[in-house]
Amino acid sequence: RIEFTTERQDLEKQIATLAEDLQTAEDARNNDNSDFEAAKAEMEKAITALDEAITALQAGMSTSFLRRLRTARMLSVRWGLKKALEFGKDTLTSGDSKLIEDMLHGDVPTPDWKKLNRKATFKTKYQAASGDIVNTLLKLNNTFTENLEEAVEKEATALSNYNKLKTSKDTMLSTAQQALIEMVEENGARGLSRDEAQAEHDALVQQVADDTAFINQTEASYVTKKTEWEERKRLRDMEIGHISQALAVLHSDDARDAFTKAYGSASF
């Protein structure tokens, strides 16, 4: 019986490599999906916070915006404004950023209530400021929503690419395993002539070469997608860090004392 040791070893090596590649791809996909789900949850929280801030601001535009902003009930508005500054550094104009910072810090003129009784100057200013912030937050909320939709779309694409890669490698693994089984069975059942054996050997070598080329091409595409996702993950981690910092500031004792003092000093 003629048995080509190199051919058998090549098939066994190919089978082991394919099995390892499949496991590596599965682990990477699970990690990427876990990162995506965490980032998706943070973006959804940000959008919800901005929705609440916008709703509260729109509801309060008929009264003194600054006075309402200082109350404990408006904490979600302040958090939404703080988040707008943290998240929107690359999208907000300097004017929009300053407007939000001024309202967060209460940096507006002290009302002269005698004049206010005669003219609605200050009230108009507060309402105008509130309207400007609403427009700014609406634009920022739209940007966040688009970013979330883009992230969901890219995750779907990454999942689709992974499924294609997995299907391809599963097929090649099955083919290699079947080829190895058939080779062992056929060589054991009959003695191959040198010409027949050489022809079969050449065919299998060509198949391995073709499969290897296809695997390399598919893996190159996978590496590119993975690199892009790692960059998005890095940026997303930075955004999550900003959220954590904003929450820490808003829930600190100093912030609560400031809210209480500001509310106590604001009265008609």
Burial string for 29-62 (b: 16+ CB within 10 Å, else e) reads: beebeebbeebeebbeebbebbeebbebbeebee
- How far apart are the two ends of the chain, measured CA to CA in Å? 104
Q: How many whole angstroms separate alpha carbon 196 and alpha carbon 248?
A: 75
Q: How many whole angstroms separate alpha carbon 213 and alpha carbon 33?
A: 28
Number of domains the chain contains: 1
Tens-level pLDDT at each residue, the chain (268 residues): 445 457 777 888 888 888 888 889 999 999 999 999 988 887 887 788 778 777 877 775 544 555 555 554 456 566 666 766 676 666 667 777 776 677 666 544 444 444 444 444 444 444 445 567 778 778 888 888 998 999 999 999 999 998 998 888 888 888 888 888 777 766 665 555 666 777 888 888 888 888 888 888 888 888 888 888 888 888 888 888 878 777 777 667 776 676 666 656 554 4
Burial of 158 (0-12, 13-18, 19+ CB in 10 A): buried
- Structural domain harbouring 111: 5-265
Q: Model-level pTM?
A: 0.50
- Token digits of residue 34: 């876990």
